[in-house]
Structure 1
Amino acid sequence: MSLKKAGFFIILILLIDQISKIYIKTHFAIGDEIEVFDWFRILFVENEGMAWGTKIPGEYGKLALTLFRLVAIVGIGYWLWDSVRKGGSRILIFAISLIFAGAFGNIIDSVFYGIIFDDSYGHIASFLPESGGYSSLFHGKVVDMLYFPLWNGYLPDWIPFWGGQYFTFFEPVFNIADSAISVGVVMLLLFNKRAFPKNEHEE
């Protein structure tokens, strides 16, 4: 796969990701929810940290996370360019493109959303508000909205540790960028031999 085709996929994913996030941010308040199916809902939440809402503690935790993401995206971008240059497999380049697009999509939120939107608590956010954004550069929150509560109920008592507790599967709320990263990683795991084929000399 050429770098041009990889770039097309990246731009397409970024557009879908950012359009969906901007729509949610400008039409929903935090906690607003629309039920599409019993097992699929649009639920607006914001993530201040990493996956699963994990935060880096301390005054500069959010800044450190955003800077780490920026360094990581440079590394992923080099990996993509180098794989194309070396004639890497189509699966490898497509998977890296998905990971790059997803990481880039969430970086946009982290870097810019704090200054281009006001907060969404109790009201719908405004784009480029006159009073300023809800935070500063590099301190934005990632917009999540895809929620798949496939099963809700109390776990059997015989299950260790969690028996008898109310449980929701699948509980995390995520976005298009997260989906792209997950699909890319799963592709590399499932199709590892095709993504990283060994030539005869190496064998």
Structure 2
Amino acid sequence: MSLKKATIIIILILLIDQISKFYIKTNFVLGEEVPVFGWFRILFVENEGMAWGAKIPGEYGKLFLTLFRIVAIGGIGYWLWDSVRKNMSRILILCIALIFAGALGNIIDSVFYGLIFSDSHHQVATLFPEAGGYGTLFHGKVVDMLYFPLYGGTLPEWVPFWGGKFFTFFDPVFNIADASISCGVILLLLFNKTAFPNRDPKTRLAAQVD
């Protein structure tokens, strides 16, 4: 796969990701939930930290996380370029492109959304508000909206630890960028041998001798 094709994939994912986030941010109040079909819902939440809502404590925790993400995306970008240069497998380049696009999509939120959007608490946010955004550079919140609660109900009393409590299976709320990263990682795991052929030194030596 050429770098041009990988770039097109990245741009398409970024466009879908950012358009969906802009739409949710400018049409939904924080916490608003809309059923789509079956167990698929749109639920607007904002993530201030890492995956699953985890946060780095302290005054500079958010800044550190955003800067770390920027450094990481630089490393992923180099990995993508180097893989194309070395003519690595298509599946590897596709996976890296998916991970790169997803990481960049969430970085855009973290870096710029605090500047360009007003707050979403009890109101629909405004793009480029006259009074300024809800935060500062590098302190934006990641917009999540895809919600797939496959099961929700009270568990039987005999279930250890959670018996008698309400339980939701697959509770995370995520976005297109998160899905892109997950798909990239899952594909790498499923097609590991195809993505990284002849990793064993003995195998590579035998191939060179032949």
Q: What TM-score results when the alignment is normalised by the length of structure 1?
A: 0.97
What secondary structure, in the 3-state scheme, does the structure 2 residue paired with 1:134 have? Answer: coil
What amino acid is aligned across from residue 57 of structure 2 in structure 1? P
- Matches of residues 58-137 of structure 1 in structure 2 within 5 Å? 58-137=58-137
- Determine the structure 2 residue equivalent to 1:179: 179
Return 5+ residue gaps in structure 1 as ranges. Answer: none
Cα distance in 2, alignment partners of residues 150 and 97 from structure 1 = 29
> Aligned equivalents of 2:158 and 2:68: distance in 1?
42
How do residues 180-195 of structure 1 correspond to structure 2 at under 5 angstroms?
Answer: 180-195=180-195
| Equivalent AA in structure 2 for residue 110 of structure 1 | S
Alpha-carbon distance in 2 for matches of 1:96, 1:145: 24
What SS is found at the alignment partner of 2:127?
coil
The aligned residue for residue 22 of structure 1 is: 22
Hey, what's the Cα distance between the residues in 2 that align with 1:155 and 1:202?
A: 56
Give the equivalent residue in structure 1 for 2:152.
152
Q: Give the letter aligned to residue 120 of structure 1.
A: S
1:40 aligned partner: 40
CA distance in 1, matches of 2:204, 2:69: 37
Q: What does the per-residue CA deviation read over 1:57-79, in whole Å, with 9 as the maximum and x for residues that have no partner? A: 00000001000100000000011
- Tell me the CA shift for residue 156 of structure 1: 2.9
**Aligned counterpart, 2:204:** 201
SS at match of 2:162: coil
Residues 1:163 and 1:64: Cα distance change in structure 2 (over 3 Å)? same
Q: Deviations over 1:138-187 (max 9, x none)?
A: 00000000000111012233333222221111111000000000000000
Provide the C-alpha distance between the structure 2 equivalents of 1:67 and 1:167, rounded to a whole number of angstroms: 36
Secondary structure at 1:201 match in 2: helix
Q: Secondary structure at the match of 1:46?
A: strand
Find the aligned partners of 2:124 and 2:46 in 1 and give their Cα distance: 13
Match of 1:166 in 2: 166
Quote the Cα distance in structure 2 between the aligned partners of 1:159 and 1:25.
Answer: 39
1:32 offset after TM fit, Å?
1.2
Paired residues, what number?
Answer: 203
Return the offset for 1:38: 2.8
Structure 1 position 195, deviation (Å): 0.7
Measure the CA separation in 2 of the matches of 1:68 and 1:202: 38
Instruction: Supply the RMSD in Å over aligned alpha carbons.
Output: 1.1
- Residue type at the aligned position of 1:44: F
Tell me the CA shift for residue 40 of structure 1: 0.5
Q: Give the TM-score, by structure 2 length.
A: 0.94
CA distance in structure 1 between the partners assigned to 2:149 and 2:205 by the alignment: 46
